[in-house]
Amino acid sequence: MSHFDIKLISKISHEVMSPIISSRWALEIILADKNLNIDPEKRLFLKNTYSNLNRISTISNKLINYARYSSNELLPINQDIDVSVSLKKIVDSLCSDFPEANIKLSIQNSNYITTTDQSMIEFIFHSLIHNSIVYSNPGTEVFVNLSKDQSGKIILEVKDKGIGILDEDKPKIFSEFFRGQNCDEIYAKGVGLSLFLCKKICEVCGYEINFSSEKNSGTNFSVLIPLKK
């Protein structure tokens, strides 16, 4: 990919985000106003539109991060944040997008403040939980747990009881544009960038990402995040 192509992708993705954000904001106000007597079918239409805007936003974020990676500009802009607050925000957003999702969020202890890039860590949270939702078997739960290990490092765990990852696919799971052989059976919309970018973000931020999985039994992703120094 040429330097011009990378810059073009980044420019278009940023331009797309602006109308998406304003449209989502307008829909949020409309859907939250209980005084508006909106026909149930029209309300459902508005909710579907809102979900589609969120999907476009997710794709745009992937392209922006991919362009940053390709041009060696995937560098964290660090600030002190409480990652538990960011995690709750992501879970609430995904519960809205996937009302049928059964997400069980557990946050143990307190003081999850660390110095990191907020947009990057939220990208990881969103990507891992979203994948667990779409690749879960119907009626099962997605478990999201935030805790600390004995050394005080923050641990995010995302577990599901979904289709799992095939043994032959495991070495390639963080590869660019890779999708598992059994993914299209459930969710045919992916482009194979989420886990690739999660891995790259973990590398530049100093995180550690691991997974374990078994076919038809589910997958467990974990991310180890240093506390604020």
C-alpha closest to that of 180 among 124, 161, 223, 172 = 172
Which two three-digit tokens encode residue 179? 């999708």
Give the pLDDT score at 84. Answer: 94
Residues 128 and 170 in one domain: yes
Residues 34 and 141 in one domain: no
Q: What is the mean pLDDT of residues 174-195?
A: 77
Give the pLDDT score at 195. Answer: 93
Residues 6+ apart with CB under 8 A from 91: 103, 105, 129, 144
The helix (run of H) or strand (run of E) holding residue 213 is: strand 208-214
Question: What distances in angstroms separate CA 142 from CA 26, 102, 225, one per listed residue?
Answer: 30, 6, 21
Residues 135 and 31 in one domain: no
Percent of the chain with pLDDT strictly greater than 90 = 37
**DSSP bridge partners of 221:** 158, 211
User: What is the count of structural domains for the chain?
Assistant: 2
Give the pLDDT score at 26. Answer: 85
Q: Measured between alpha carbons, how far is 164 from 217 in angstroms, rounded to an integer?
A: 6
Give the pLDDT score at 213. Answer: 93
Residues 52 and 123 in one domain: no
Residue at a domain's end among 70, 94, 125: 70
Please name the amino acid found at residue 91.
V
Give the pLDDT score at 10. Answer: 58
Give the least confident one: 92-106, 131-145, 180-194, 199-213.
Answer: 180-194
Torsion of the alpha carbons at 94, 98, 99 and 104, rounded to the nearest 10: -50
Q: What share of the chain is helix, strand, coil (3-state, %, to 5)?
A: 50, 20, 30
Give the pLDDT score at 122. Answer: 92
**118 φ/ψ angles, rounded to the nearest 5 degrees:** -65, -45
Residue with the larger pLDDT of the pair 65 and 221: 221
Task: Give the global pTM.
Answer: 0.81
Q: What is the mean pLDDT of residues 144-162?
A: 92
Q: Measured between alpha carbons, how far is 96 from 92 in angstroms, rounded to an integer?
A: 6
Residue at a domain's end among 26, 52, 70: 70
The gap from C-alpha 192 to its chain's centroid, in whole angstroms, comes to 13
Residues 60 and 129 in one domain: no
Residues 7 and 29 in one domain: yes
Which two three-digit tokens encode residue 216? 């038809």
- With bands split at pLDDT 50, 70 and 90, how would you rate the model's confidence at 157? very high
Residue with the larger pLDDT of the pair 197 and 43: 197
Q: pLDDT digits over 163-174, tens only? A: 899 999 999 999
Residues 55 and 87 in one domain: no
Residue at a domain's end among 48, 70, 92: 70
- With bands split at pLDDT 50, 70 and 90, how would you rate the model's confidence at 189? low
**Where residue 153 sits, what CATH number does that domain have?**
3.30.565.10
Q: What is the mean pLDDT of the chain?
A: 84
Q: Measured between alpha carbons, how far is 27 from 154 in angstroms, rounded to an integer?
A: 35
Residues 86 and 63 in one domain: no
Which two three-digit tokens encode residue 2? 């040429």
Residues 52 and 121 in one domain: no
Residues 97 and 34 in one domain: no
Range of the domain at 165: 79-225
Quickly tell me which residue has 């696919």 as its tokens: 169
At residue 222, does pLDDT exceed 80? Answer: yes
Give the pLDDT score at 141. Answer: 92
Residues 112 and 130 in one domain: yes
Residues 98 and 48 in one domain: no
- With bands split at pLDDT 50, 70 and 90, how would you rate the model's confidence at 186? low
